[in-house]
Structure 1
Amino acid sequence: MPLRSHATARQVRLGTELRRLREAAGLKAREAAQLLNSTSAQISQMELGFAGVSEERVRRLAAHYACTDEALIDALVAMATDRTRGWWERYRGVLPPVFQDTAEAEYHATFLREVVITHVPGLLQTAEYARALYTYVHPAMPASELEPRVEHRMKRRVVIEGGTPTPYETLIHECALRVRVADRNASRAQLQQVLNRIEEGHAKVRVIPFDQDGFGGAGISMMYAGGPLPKLDTGLRDAPTGVAFIDADAQLKQLRTLFRRIQSASLDSAASRDFIHRLTKEL
């Protein structure tokens, strides 16, 4: 099987979990290679996500590593054998890989939680709002690059608007709701979009108002994607080079704690809905 030229974040995660199982068993790559009649280099390529792995190999490795967590093994098998070619595949080679990785992570999530401070979450944005954001950051971007980005962002909404929507909760700071990335009409339409998603049951939104005491998380922006079991949860945070995918247990625990802390500093769902209604009327 030829090596992949690019490993997706999901393929990298599978490899990472296989490496963790091997290391927990105290085995070297060459020892795992002997089991599969392979080489240390091929084991490394598999653990980096560049080489595929079959169900039979996942189960053989898990047994060799003395892993008895059947739920984890089944979840890893599902990741290894998944052949989903989602809507995001059409953007491969058109947009940077992180666009596809983010959409794929959202697609496979069992639930989504998000914290945003300065902008309305991508899953709730209107096309006009998204276009204004991209244009402001990259004013010289040609339409041939701009429009695929806007289109991709709009398509991402399927995870919360489809026939079986993924449970989605977002904590939005008042700053994000008040900042006019375009004009007054665009801001009003954006706030109405958020309200529509709330009323339709597609999003649980809680607002962090400016006058809320006990909030020191103004620099935090993150998404938390639930996995088939907690061990396979994924955190997504903005980084200087793009989006960083987080899978270390300690870091995931920190993200869960941060979300609960920020949640405690936000209005409840009903008060948040009323708050957004008032902002809409002000426009």
Structure 2
Amino acid sequence: MAVRNNPTGRQLRLGAELRKLRERAGLTSTAAAQLMGMRQAQVSNMETGRVGVSAERVRTLACHYQCSDKALIEAIADMTGERKRGWWEEYREILPAGLLNLAEVEHHATRLRTAITVHIPGLLQTADHARELIRQVVPEFPPPDVEHRVSFRLKRQAVLYGDSPTPYLALIHEAALRMQFGGPDVTKGQLRHLLDMSERDHITLRVLPFAAGSFPGSGQSLFYSSGPVPQLDTVHLDQSHGPAFLDAEAQLEMYRVLLDRVEALTLAPAKSRDLISNLTHDL
């Protein structure tokens, strides 16, 4: 089987989950290879996403690794079934791989949650708001690159539309609502868009007011994508150089707790809409 030079984020995650199964079984890659009648290099390439793995091979590995969690095994096996190229692949020579991986994670998520302090979440941004944010990056992007990133951000939002949209919870600090990126007209359009989106059944928007005071995770933008089983969840932290992805079980649990604590401090959805509506009228 041909070796991939640039595995996607999902292929890397599949390999990482196979490695976790092996390590939980207390096996080295050499011992696993002997158990499977394979070369050690084959095991290594599977665990780094450099070669494809069939669903049946996943089930066989899980059997040898004595994993009895059927839901987890089937969820990992399902990760092998994606054969067609995602829409994000058209940007592979244009945008950083981390952004493509983010779109891929969002596409496969069963639920999305985010807690953000200064910016409106990307999945809820208007084109004008997104363009203004992207223009502020240092060093600044040439105009064509700005438009590529705007179009990419808008295409990511497809997960919130269609016949089976992904459930989405957005916890937005009041500071982000008051930041007038692009001036009053752009801000008013963005706030109205938030109000419209918050009326959709699968979208819950909750505002963390200034009155709530301090809260956990205040210094970062946090995005949490749920997989078909909790072990396949993904945390992505928005950083200046691009998204950073976390999937260790201890990290996932920590960020689940953090999001729950932030959500407990927010206004109810109806009161959140009232606050946004009042801000819109003030502009």
- Where in structure 2 are the equivalents of 1:110-259 lying within 5 Å? 110-138=110-138, 140-239=140-239, 241-259=241-259
Deviation at 1:202, TM superposition (A): 4.6
Comparing 44-53 with 206-215, which one deviates more in the overlay? Answer: 206-215
Comparing 234-243 with 49-58, which one deviates more in the overlay? Answer: 234-243
- Where in structure 2 are the equivalents of 1:78-93 lying within 5 Å? 78-93=78-93
Aligned length in residues:
283
- Give the distance between the partners of 1:239 and 1:47, measured in 2 at CA: 27
| Percent identity for Structure 1 against Structure 2 | 48
* Matched AA of 1:46: M
- Give the distance between the partners of 1:185 and 1:278, measured in 2 at CA: 15
Comparing 194-203 with 94-103, which one deviates more in the overlay? Answer: 194-203
Partner of 2:262: 262
Displaced runs of 4 or more, over 3 A: none
- Give the distance between the partners of 2:239 and 2:41, measured in 1 at CA: 30
SS of residue matched to 2:212? coil
Deviation at 1:244, TM superposition (A): 1.3
Is there any run of 5+ residues in structure 2 with no aligned partner, and where?
Answer: none
- Give the distance between the partners of 2:12 and 2:227, measured in 1 at CA: 15
TM-score, structure 2 as length reference: 0.95
- Give the distance between the partners of 1:96 and 1:147, measured in 2 at CA: 15
Partner of 1:6: 6
SS of residue matched to 2:73? helix
Partner of 2:50: 50
Deviation at 1:148, TM superposition (A): 1.0
Deviations along 1:122-161, one digit per CA (max 9) or x if unpaired, are 0000001111111111464222211111001001111012
* Matched AA of 2:73: I
- Give the distance between the partners of 1:123 and 1:35, measured in 2 at CA: 45
SS of residue matched to 1:172? strand
Does the 8 Å contact 1:204/1:269 carry over to 2?
yes
Comparing 97-106 with 271-280, which one deviates more in the overlay? Answer: 97-106
Deviations along 1:75-110, one digit per CA (max 9) or x if unpaired, are 111102222422111111111111111111111111
Does the 8 Å contact 1:120/1:176 carry over to 2?
yes
Root-mean-square deviation over aligned CA pairs: 1.5
